[in-house]
Amino acid sequence: MQDGLYHHFEFAFIVPLLTVSRETVVEDEFGARVVDRGGLDLLTVASEGMRCATTGMSLVDQLVARGVRPVRTHPDLVTRQDIADRAGVTRQAVGQWVRGVRQRGTPFPAPFNTVSGGIWLWGDVYAWLRRHDYGADTGLQYPTLDDHVRIDRHIVMNHRAG
């Protein structure tokens, strides 16, 4: 297969508390990081594949084979200020994108939730930013809402704990 077909994806999973030895295994074998974020243990890892959802599902299978059982994916949700900071633009510019004042030809992604003026899924926003050449391209791609749903379904259907 051609290299152009492969992409680098970043995933975050909520995982149960890991032993130090198991955490070391996932850090060494997968280049993953495990951090505590407000009482949630998050395992963040990048992986290469052709499609995000299938790459994420394969990664879940590999983690489970090494004794790490993800509970679910952890969507990276961002506010207007987060988007502005990550894209290197002002919050006002983001507001114009959201309202459709700028970039009318390709509408800004719909919010994931409308709480507090809206929060967006970073994967959707990042894809939109890349299409419009905003912000630094990290070389990574992030799961969309559909990808999260498919990976979480895989976890529930194939790797349900207990």
Summarised one tens digit per residue, pLDDT across range 27-75 is: 999 999 999 998 999 999 999 999 999 999 999 999 999 999 999 999 9
Q: Are residues 85 and 123 in the same domain?
A: yes
> How many domains does the structure of the chain reveal?
2
Average pLDDT, the chain: 91
Q: Are residues 105 and 65 in the same domain?
A: no
Q: Are residues 68 and 89 in the same domain?
A: no
Q: Are residues 27 and 64 in the same domain?
A: yes
Mean pLDDT computed over 135-148? 86
pLDDT beyond 60 at 3:
no
Which pLDDT score is estimated for 162?
53
Which pLDDT score is estimated for 132?
86
Q: What is the pTM of this model?
A: 0.85
Which pLDDT score is estimated for 1?
41
Q: Are residues 64 and 86 in the same domain?
A: no
Q: Are residues 65 and 10 in the same domain?
A: yes
Which pLDDT score is estimated for 59?
97
pLDDT band at 106 (very low <50, low <70, confident <90, very high): confident
101 vs 77 pLDDT, higher one: 77
pLDDT beyond 90 at 22:
yes
Task: Give me the domain span that covers residue 14.
Answer: 3-75+143-158
Q: Are residues 68 and 25 in the same domain?
A: yes
Q: Are residues 71 and 148 in the same domain?
A: yes
Q: Are residues 62 and 116 in the same domain?
A: no
Distance set, CA 158 to CA 72, 153, 161 (Å) = 12, 8, 9
Which pLDDT score is estimated for 103?
64
What does the buried/exposed string (b/e) look like for 66-94 if buried means 16 or more CB atoms within 10 Å of the residue's CB?
eebbbbebbbbebbbebbbebbebeeebb
Q: Are residues 65 and 7 in the same domain?
A: yes
Residue 56: phi, psi to the nearest 5? Answer: -65, -40
CATH number at residue 29: 3.30.70
Which pLDDT score is estimated for 139?
84
107 vs 160 pLDDT, higher one: 107
Q: Are residues 68 and 148 in the same domain?
A: yes
Q: Are residues 39 and 59 in the same domain?
A: yes
